Structure 1
Amino acid sequence: MKHYSPELRKVEVTRYVTPLREGGSLPAIVEADDEFLYVLKFRGAGQGIKALMAEIIAGELARVLGLRMPELVFAHLDEAFGRTEPDEEIQDLLRFSEGWNLGLHYLKGAITFDALVNSVDPLLASQIVWLDCLITNVDRTARNTNMLMWHKELWLIDHGAAFYFHHNWPNIEEQAKRPFVQIKDHVLLPVASELEAVDAAFKALLTSEIIRTIVGLIPEDWLTGVDSPFGTAQAHRDAYIQFLETRLQHSHIFVTEANHARKALI
């Protein structure tokens, strides 16, 4: 594992370039004051801040595990930014997203991963399948792979649909021990033949300290929003930490489910 730096840079959004209307939450390409382009995920979008929290946790877990992820940054949107935007839908989105949002470094020239065209070796496929089982990511299917090919390498994007249970926060312990049955639709599952080896290696990397550090990146005001079921930001963080630590302790459950689903496919 390369050195993991547990900190996200902060940038100021300076220019709205274009909306990405293929995304359900209407993300956009923007330019920031560091002169880089970012895909901006808005806090005021339909899935709200919970999708941004999922992006941070999932994205940084992927980075710790050595998978390729565009850099994540906190991107600040000034209150006056959307006043000149002629599209009313976008203007509303900008207005509801004032403050800190989440940006992913824009991979210019990247193309969508296509399983019929792009091959992935079994180890990498197993690593991605294992991660998606851990974070309960329902959104890596053939219809919507959420992976890009950039400079002949595979990059992971868009994890806002992970941790889907946090939209309701049922019993954390029970959720953490559940098999991830949706893995049967994962675009890389047919190739993922090394899940047991990946399970042992990745569990060794994801220490309690690493998990707490990643969850600690979430801004406090995101955790104490109007729809938070927890009394404090720390209680909210602890719920994510408990889920991940319990799920890692019982990873054989989701690995077994993935292997059974794979055998049914091949």
Structure 2
Amino acid sequence: MKNPVNTSVISPAARRRPSRRLPIAGMIGIAIVVFWLVMALIGPYIAAYGVGGVIGDDVFAPMSMHHPLGTDYLGRDMLSRILHGAPYTIGVALAAVSLASLGGTALALCTAATGGWFDAVVSRVVDTMLSIPHQLLALIIVASFGSSVPLLILTAGIGYMPGAYRIGRALAVNVQAMDYVQAARVRGERLFYITCFEMLPNMFRPVLADFGLRFLFIVLLLSGLSFLGLGIQPPQADWGLLVRENIIGLSEGAPAVIVPAIAIATLTIAVNMVIDSMVGRKRRGNEV
């Protein structure tokens, strides 16, 4: 007669096995991020009014059925303005962080794999750029050459590329010392293969977390520039400019100021929640 299986006994490995599911905070963050990404894509097409359309003389009107978020200082529908501003706030930040993260990581892989004088020269140039505050660099460039979407993307991308390079190089130096990278060198693999197929996949998660953090920094940088009048120019608007335009009516038209600020806050907090969840899962997996 076979002994019955004792289902109450669970192996220590099974107890320590990490869950594949994201925590609730991470799932909520992903839902909010996806919502704003969708709004950035379709927002201008579903807005009830044009980006600069003045719909009446009732400035700072309260929330109503016709204007769910009220109107601004010129009588424009705030919901439509926020939907039109989503592509600029999110799209420009995504383009800039892609330039910063991809450029910095690619350069870090090349310098770590090549080494020698090339690594030393690039590292010293990056150290020099890191000594310049991002906000100051952005203010100088925009004030000197004017404000436009391509210039804002280039300014934010170049400003945050040194930080992405530093993170990428620290990861690449550790990864290239691994046995599988050394084995690829012994096999005679080319530099492109080693960096793209041996090193980069093992750096992907930390680089992705850094990508999210830099996206937050760039959103806040661009919103700050718009608040100072150096970002997206009227009649187009991002959320930072919406706050600046309506700050004079805070006492009588609070939704026109608070709602764009809440939009910025929900986007940045949601991205931060996703990053924390990803890092937490990786840490729990390493502890096992």
TM exceeding 0.5: no
| Richer in strand (by share) | 1
Structure with a larger share of its residues in helix:
2
TM-score, normalization by structure 2: 0.24
Larger radius of gyration: 2
Greater RCO, 1 or 2 (C-alpha within 8 Å, sep 6+) = 2
